[in-house]
């Protein structure tokens, strides 16, 4: 198995990935009963040397619901009838999960409404108020 490129700076070496194969459900005819095409890919977030400490903390926090008790991220794939394609699919999904989890998110800068926007809001409030006041005087 070759290294898994997550980002340009993050590459997971093949020895940190463990793939197991099992019988898959779904289509496949008689083949489904004898060929192990489902792929289960495991990656230990807690023990990985490829992740920096900051990346590990972000990944552990953001992937917490998906991690096993031992801090392993488990991805399975049984979309196709071919083992190699399922392995590639599982690798792509693992890379996407790690890319999303380790990304540094931009902090939100609080903004204020423009003077014109405040003016428009207040003018509309006043118009609405006049409309309602006009209805009251008719009753």
> Helix 53-62 to helix 83-102 angle, to the nearest 10 degrees?
100
Band the pLDDT of 60: cuts 50, 70, 90: very high
pLDDT digits (tens, 9 = 90+) for 17-57: 999 999 887 666 777 778 888 999 999 999 999 999 999 99
Bridging pattern class, strands 38-44 and 11-12: unpaired
Which structural domain range is residue 70 located in? 4-102
State the pLDDT at residue 69: 87
How many structural domains compose the chain? Answer: 1
Give residue 136's pLDDT band: very low, low, confident or very high (50, 70, 90): confident
- Nearest-angstrom CA–CA distance, 69 and 40: 17
| Residue 111 is assigned to a structural domain of this protein | no
Considering the domain boundaries, does residue 63 fall inside one? Answer: yes
Domain for residue 129, yes or no? no
Asked whether the beta carbons of 5 and 55 are under 8 A apart, the reply is no
Residue 96 lies in a domain: yes
d(CA 77, CA 90): 5
| CA angle (110 as vertex; 127, 54 as ends), nearest 5 | 155
* CATH number of the domain within which 86 lies: 3.30.160.20
89 in a domain, yes or no?
yes
Distance from C-alpha of 22 to C-alpha of 24, rounded to nearest angstrom = 6
Flag whether 122 is in a domain.
no
Whether residue 32 is contained in a domain is answered as yes
Question: Tokens representing 124?
Answer: 């509309």
- 136 falls within a domain: no
pLDDT of 108 > 80? The answer is yes
- Residue 139 pLDDT greater than 70, yes or no: no
């Amino acid at each position: 198995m070759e290294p898994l490129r997550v980002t340009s700076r993050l590459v997971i070496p093949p020895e940190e990935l463990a793939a197991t194969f099992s019988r898959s459900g779904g289509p496949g005819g008689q083949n489904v009963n004898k060929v192990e095409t489902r792929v289960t890919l495991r990656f230990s977030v807690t023990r990985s040397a490829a992740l920096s400490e900051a990346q590990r903390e972000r990944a552990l926090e953001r992937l917490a619901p998906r991690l096993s008790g031992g801090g392993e991220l488990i991805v399975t794939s049984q979309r196709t009838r071919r083992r190699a394609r399922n392995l590639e699919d599982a690798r792509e999904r693992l890379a996407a999960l790690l890319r999303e989890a380790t990304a540094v998110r931009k902090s939100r800068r609080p903004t204020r409404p423009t003077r014109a926007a405040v003016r428009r809001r207040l003018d509309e409030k006043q118009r609405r108020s006049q409309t309602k006041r006009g209805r009251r005087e008719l009753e």
